[in-house]
Amino acid sequence: MSETIDLHRRRLVGAGAAILAAAPLGLASPAVAQTRDGAPASPPDPIRGTQPGFGPLKQVAAGDLDIGYAELGPAGGTPVLLLHGWPYDIHSYVDVAPALARAGYRVLVPSLRGYGSTRFLSAATPRNGQQAALAVDALRFLDALGIARTIVAGYDWGARTADILAALWPERCKALVSVSGYLIGSQALNAKPLPPRAELQWWYQFYFATERGREGYARNTRDFVRLIWELASPQWRFDDATFDRSAPAFDNPDHVAITIHNYRWRLGLAEGEARYAELETRLAALPPIAVPTITLEGDANGAPHPDPAVYAKKFTGRYAHRLITGGIGHNLPQEAPQAFVQAVVDVDGF
């Protein structure tokens, strides 16, 4: 739940910290994307929950990792990189990816470090969850596949990674779709306290700061993940089969270590790696994003997230924001695949 705001919200939200608490809404009509001027976007074709899975996955050595990933669509299609968040997995895109493939895109859905079949190539590599490390993973993944330029899209940790790629390596990004907007942050911003109600939403971050929290997450990973899904998407009525399809991804031997390091690093309780220091310095300046961008937000997102008005000016190229209605929570691509696919197709035409 992501890097959902990397506490860069601390600067961006300021006195508006109450915005971070998403108020659960009553069940409404099916999800509808709205442009900033209120005009509805045309619905694409995926139907939520209709795809059983991805089938056989591929593996590729990329940087520090042997990355497991799904690939769909024609090899010559425009690449689309879809990045998942915590604590979710590639199945967040199980309906989105086939729809984009049918539209002619080459769709790539990698498991992040600490998830699924992705493994470290060396036992000596630090199990590092800092934001720059995940972004470099994505860059090396593109390098390994020989992809020079891609549309990049994500939510939660994946949105942050997508934002970083677009901000620091815009030549590699044709366009961006980012759920909850601009999520790049820094340890300095994260060190500043928020009002109590906003801090309450980050309860798990403080839990993970303790050894009791680390042990508790290790012992009860699946129960913990299910709880986060329920809190972050209070109106998403996922069934046991949906959860059980994703649950093996959290059995990755590095999952707990990556998760704990990520949240401890944010609070300055764990060090990052020196090789990422220069990138983190650049990210701490909260660089603008100039590539064409559509940001999305669900109307029932129960995870911490900034108000769109706060981050809009960080996107300096062609830009639109869409509110996705119908009780849509934090895992937006899985809860509203039509809207997510439409955003990718539309931003490709910007």
Instruction: Write out pLDDT tens, residues 109-119.
Output: 999 999 999 99
pLDDT band with cut points at 50, 70 and 90 for residue 18? very low
| Residue 314, C-beta contacts closer than 8 angstroms, at least 6 positions apart | 181, 182, 286, 288, 289
pLDDT band with cut points at 50, 70 and 90 for residue 41? very low
* pLDDT score, position 52: 83
* pLDDT score, position 48: 76
Residue 262, token pair as written in the block: 């990520």
| Residue 338, C-beta contacts closer than 8 angstroms, at least 6 positions apart | 31, 33, 43, 44, 45, 46, 47, 48
Please say if the pLDDT value at position 257 is more than 50: yes
Residue 117, token pair as written in the block: 């079949």
For the stretch 45-58, what's the b/e string if a residue is b when 16 or more beta carbons lie within 10 angstroms of its beta carbon?
Answer: ebebeebeebeebe
Q: Is the dihedral of CA 15, 20, 90, 153 positive or negative?
A: negative
What is the rounded CA–CA span in Å between residue 268 and residue 248?
30
* pLDDT score, position 252: 98
pLDDT band with cut points at 50, 70 and 90 for residue 39? very low
Burial of 347 (0-12, 13-18, 19+ CB in 10 A): buried
Please say if the pLDDT value at position 30 is more than 60: no
Please say if the pLDDT value at position 24 is more than 70: no
Please say if the pLDDT value at position 348 is more than 60: yes
Please say if the pLDDT value at position 66 is more than 80: yes
| β-bridge partners, 176 | 152, 293
Please say if the pLDDT value at position 93 is more than 50: yes
Mean per-residue pLDDT over the chain, rounded: 89
* pLDDT score, position 2: 44
Question: In the chain, what percentage of residues exceed pLDDT 90?
Answer: 85
* pLDDT score, position 314: 98
The full DSSP string for 40-89 is BPPP-S--TT------S-EEEEETTEEEEEEEES-TTSPEEEEE--TT--
- CA 92 to centroid of chain Cα atoms: 10
* pLDDT score, position 28: 31
